Amino acid sequence: MKLIAIAVTTLLAAAHVSAQPIRPKEADTSALAQEAIAAYRKGDIPAAIALAGKLIEAAPKKPQSWLLRAQLHNTQRQYLKAAADYSEVIKLDAKAAGAWQARGEAHFKAGKMAESIADFDKVLEFEPAQKPHHWQRGIALYYAGRFKDGKEQFEIHQTVNSNDVENAVWHFLCAARADGLEKAKKGLIPIEGDGRIPMSQVHQLFAGKLKPEDVLATAKAAPAETRSGEPMFYAHLYLGIYFEAIGDAKQAREYIFKAAERANQNGYMGDVARVHADILRKQDKK
């Protein structure tokens, strides 16, 4: 699924990086940004965040200052701290749709579904034409228990992304909760052309044409040039979601936790797996 978001590199580039050194008597904010980025690239995250803090002190009215530190917090999974910095950007520019989107993603990753949805809805106030594309909103709606709204979101996403098995699966999940499992099975969105391994098999699993072991076998047999970990990640994630949909909590947990172990290598959907695993852990504590 394609991400509607501000890329890390875009945020870093937006910090007005310059090759000039810091001058003792001037607030050379671009040089501070350059130092922060250099520290990040060297792996010295505490130094990078500290320098980003100095950048904010030097130029608190520049959204780019807050954006840089927010992105650094994101890399450390400090999502609430990132959300707080995105909030400062929004205070400076209330119509910055990108900041609302980024804060919505940070809230989602922190498990704050209501806040995430509110941010995504704000994005769509500024950019209503993006609603069909906003699958992240649909996923947040699912985890918030707003299944009818989630179903609607994935239905309209289908109009702009017609060959995505993941969209059909998330629509199925929302429909199963909103309308019942049997009706969801009958309404499974047909998909053709999703060549990612093992997405075709995942779709056939939800259609009742294959078994879970078929999905696993296809993922395990993926060619070596396939991106590292991806086939098994998607196999585990969607097997976990499948078992959750049919009411097999034990196997759902097993596969969701396996998917979460591969979260770091799988972008936003990796975050979805990690958030799902966190929800299951919280249920355990209760």
Q: What does the pLDDT look like over 239-260, one tens digit per residue?
A: 999 999 999 999 999 999 999 9
pTM: predicted TM-score of the whole model, two decimal places:
0.88
How high does pLDDT run on average in the chain?
90
Longest alpha-carbon distance in the chain? 71
Cα–Cα dist 137/153, whole Å: 8
Least confident segment among 31-35, 182-186, 272-276: 31-35
Q: Residue 244: CB partners within 8 Å, gap ≥ 6?
A: 173, 252, 256
pLDDT at 11 over 70: no
Encode pLDDT of 38-47 as tens digits: 999 999 999 9
Q: So what's the pLDDT on residue 129?
A: 97
Least confident segment among 8-22, 63-77, 132-146, 271-285: 8-22
Helix 45-58 × helix 29-41 angle, to 10°: 170
Q: Residue 116: CB partners within 8 Å, gap ≥ 6?
A: 104, 105, 107, 108, 140
Q: Residue 124: CB partners within 8 Å, gap ≥ 6?
A: 130, 131, 134, 137
pLDDT at 22 over 60: no
Q: So what's the pLDDT on residue 18?
A: 30
pLDDT at 15 over 80: no
Q: So what's the pLDDT on residue 7?
A: 37
Cα–Cα dist 27/198, whole Å: 53
257 CB burial (10 A radius; 0-12, 13-18, 19+): middle
Using 50, 70 and 90 to split pLDDT, how confident is the model at 28? low
Encode pLDDT of 177-208 as tens digits: 999 999 999 999 999 999 999 999 999 999 99
pLDDT at 24 over 50: no
Percent of the chain with pLDDT over 90: 85
**Segment 4-22 mean pLDDT:** 36
DSSP state of 133: G
